[in-house]
């Protein structure tokens, strides 16, 4: 045991719990500030997100997005890279889905389109992460900054494409035509009609997300590539000593990360909107950072964190309906607080906990 280390359950259980509790406590204070009862707010939040099967269906729909963007950030974390370009990669990933759907939807059933959409979204997302990844690896320009820049470049590019090249003729909206059935994934309500998902847009993508979680787990902890990614992330010099090429690992990791972010578009575009439109990512990429942080970059943690954020999204809609003074922006505030306490202030409670737990432990040099 090294100096000052805490018991495992404190590190993995108590600290995240305290961080989350602090975030929600401050959120409660914000609710109080605008003159509402925080407990009522929690009630409506839970009612909306898990109070009905349909509500839970919405929760799962949002969680699907967060799983993809959370995995994207987490994979990059393992290589010591901070990909905050999930936003742009998911946006461009939408192009891949749209190409597949627009090309095939009138001719083949959805299950033929799906593999093309999955590969398309992953390739487009990966392509958008390729340049930042390569620049970091080969030219040393920091991936945080370049991915931010690429988010804005993606927004401009998509704005242009949807305004001119891909726009539905005669429409005022910046969007493509609506896909036919061959470009639409089945909703869970269609697969399990008796479950009661109602109008919830949760769809087959949820299972793709869960499969992605399993594959990421295998990749990181069971494959040679994962070993190399973790080695590089933990100690880049040792990785070079071990014959692991920094350029190769940085680029491959960013491709995987970007690909995962891009796949978020399957859920939104092929699963729910059935057309490519502007601004369908709206913060999911950034929230992926919070999801990955809270989930400790582990797929199981990411699933749990994604469901939590899904609940906030869905419950927040219900909340703003029942308590109009609490607009949906409250959810952005809560997300901000979770990122702050679980991420940036991660170590805030540590010194106190070390004082509480360390003296009782046997001293060994």
Partner 1 sequence: MFEMYFQELILTLDSTLRLATPLLLACLAGLYSERSGIVDIGLEGKMLGAAFGAGAVAYVTGNAFLGLAGGIVVSVGLALLHGFASITNRGNQIVSGVAINFLAAGLTVLLGQYWFSQGGRTPSLPQGGRFLDITFPFAEEIRDIPYLGPVYSDLLSGHNLLVYVAFLAVPLTWWVLYRTRFGLHLRAVGENPAAVDTAGISVTWLRYRAVIACGFFCGLAGSALSIALASGFIKDMTAGKGFIALAALIFAKWKPVNAMLACLLFGFLDAFALRQQGKELPLIGEVPSQFFQALPYILTVILLAGFIGKAIPPKAAGVPYLKERT
Partner 2 sequence: MERARSDGRTLLIGANDNDNDKVSGLGERMTGTAAIELKNINKSFGPVHANKNIDLVVKKGSIHGIIGENGAGKSTLMSILYGFYQADNGDILVDGKKVTIPDSKAAIAMGIGMVHQHFMLVDNFSVLENVVLGAEDSAMLAGGLSRARTELKRLEEEYELRVDPDTLIQDLPVGLQQRVEILKALYRSAEVLILDEPTGVLTPAEADHLFKILEVLKNEGKTVLLITHKLREIMAATDTVSVMRRGEMVATVATADTSMAQLAELMVGRSVLLRVDKKPAEPKAPVLEVDNLTVTDSRGVQVVKDVSFNVRAGEIVGIAGVSGNGQSELMETLAGIRRATRGSMKINGETIDMGSSTLDAADMRAKNMGHVPEDRHRMGLINSFSEYENSILGYHRDPAYSNGLFLDLGAIKKNAVGEIEKYDIRPPNPMLKTASFSGGNQQKIVLAREIERDPEVLLVGQPTRGVDIGAIEFIHRRIVELRDAGKGILLVSVELDEIRALSDRVLIMFDGKIVGERGENADEGELGLLMAGVEDKKNAVEGDAR
Interacting residues toward partner 2 by CB under 8 A: 1-5, 218, 222-225, 227-228, 230-231, 234-235, 237-238, 240-245, 358, 363-365
- Smallest gap from Cβ 32 to partner 1, in A, equals 12
**Residue (231 or 253) nearer to partner 2, CB:** 231
- CA distances to 1, 4, 249, 260, 362 from 365, rounded to whole Å, are 9, 12, 37, 44, 10
Task: Please say which residue, 151 or 205, places its beta carbon nearer to partner 1.
Answer: 151
C-alpha span between 80 and 261 (Å, rounded): 17
**Which tokens is 180 given?**
């036919």
* Residues that bind partner 1 in the complex, under the rule CB under 8 A: 30, 34-35, 82, 84, 131, 135, 139-142, 144-146, 148-150, 152-153, 155-157, 159-160, 163-164, 286, 289, 293, 325-327, 329-337, 339-340, 343-348
Q: Which does 244 bind (CB under 5 to 8 A by kind): partner 1, partner 2, none?
A: partner 2
To partner 2, the closest distance from the beta carbon of 224 in angstroms equals 6
Cβ contacts of residue 2 below 8 Å, gap of 6+? none
Judged by CB, which is closer to partner 1: 225, or 333? Answer: 333
Name which of 194 and 360 has its Cβ closer to partner 2: 360
131: partner contacted, choices partner 1, partner 2, none (Cβ within 5-8 A by kind): partner 1
Q: Report the partner that residue 293 touches, choosing among partner 1, partner 2, none (CB closer than 5 to 8 A by kind).
A: partner 1
Nearest-angstrom CA–CA distance, 67 and 39: 28
Residue 231 interacts with which of partner 2, partner 1, none, CB < 5 to 8 Å by class = partner 2
Rounded distance, CA 104 to CA 98, Å? 10
Q: Which two tokens mark 20?
A: 């989350």
**Residue 331 binds what, of partner 1, partner 2, none (CB under 5 to 8 Å, by partner type)?**
partner 1
Q: What are the beta bridge partners of residue 175?
A: 277
Closest CA to 143 of 228, 234, 59, 80: 80
Question: 3-state secondary structure string, 261-303?
Answer: HHHHHHHHHHHHHCCCECCCCCCHHHHHHHHHHHCCCCHHHHH
3-state secondary structure of 203: strand
Q: What is the rounded CA–CA span in Å between residue 86 and residue 129?
A: 9
Comparison of 191 and 240: residue with beta carbon closer to partner 2: 240
Asked if residues 260 and 220 have their Cβ atoms less than 8 Å apart, the reply is no
Nearer to partner 2, 33 or 363 (CB): 363
| Least distance (Å) between residue 22 CB and partner 1 | 12
- Pick from partner 2, partner 1, none: which does 152 bind, CB < 5 to 8 A by kind? partner 1
């Amino acid at each position: 045991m090294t100096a000052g280390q805490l018991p495992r359950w404190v590190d993995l259980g108590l600290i995240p719990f305290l961080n989350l509790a602090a975030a929600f406590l401050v959120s409660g204070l914000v609710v109080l500030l605008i003159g509402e009862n925080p407990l009522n707010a929690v009630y409506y939040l839970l009612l909306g997100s898990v109070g009905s099967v349909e509500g839970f269906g919405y929760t799962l729909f949002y969680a699907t997005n967060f799983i993809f963007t959370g995995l994207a950030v987490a994979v990059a974390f393992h290589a010591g890279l901070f990909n905050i370009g999930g936003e742009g990669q998911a946006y461009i990933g939408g192009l891949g889905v749209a190409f597949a759907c627009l090309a095939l939807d009138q001719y083949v059933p959805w299950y033929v389109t799906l593999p093309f959409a999955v590969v398309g979204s992953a390739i487009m997302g990966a392509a958008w992460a390729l340049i930042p990844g390569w620049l970091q690896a080969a030219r040393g320009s920091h991936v945080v900054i370049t991915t931010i820049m690429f988010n804005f470049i993606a927004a401009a590019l998509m704005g242009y494409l949807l305004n001119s090249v891909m726009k539905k003729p005669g429409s005022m909206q910046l969007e493509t035509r609506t896909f036919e059935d061959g470009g639409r994934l089945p909703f869970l309500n269609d697969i399990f009609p008796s479950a009661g998902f109602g109008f919830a847009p949760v769809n087959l993508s949820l299972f793709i997300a869960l499969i992605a979680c399993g594959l990421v787990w295998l990749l990181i902890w069971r494959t040679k590539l994962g070993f190399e990614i973790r080695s590089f992330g933990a100690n880049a010099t040792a990785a070079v000593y071990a014959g692991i090429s920094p350029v190769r690992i940085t680029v491959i990791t960013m491709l995987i990360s970007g690909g995962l972010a891009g796949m978020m578009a399957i859920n939104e575009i092929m699963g729910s909107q059935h057309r490519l439109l502007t601004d369908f990512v709206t913060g999911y990429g950034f929230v992926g950072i919070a999801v990955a942080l809270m989930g400790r970059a582990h797929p199981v943690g990411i699933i749990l964190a994604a469901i939590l954020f899904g609940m906030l999204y869905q419950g927040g809609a219900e909340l703003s309906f029942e308590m109009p003074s609490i607009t949906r922006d409250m959810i952005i505030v809560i997300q901000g607080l979770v990122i702050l306490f679980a991420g940036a202030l991660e170590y805030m409670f540590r010194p106190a906990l070390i004082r509480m737990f360390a003296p009782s432990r046997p001293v060994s040099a």
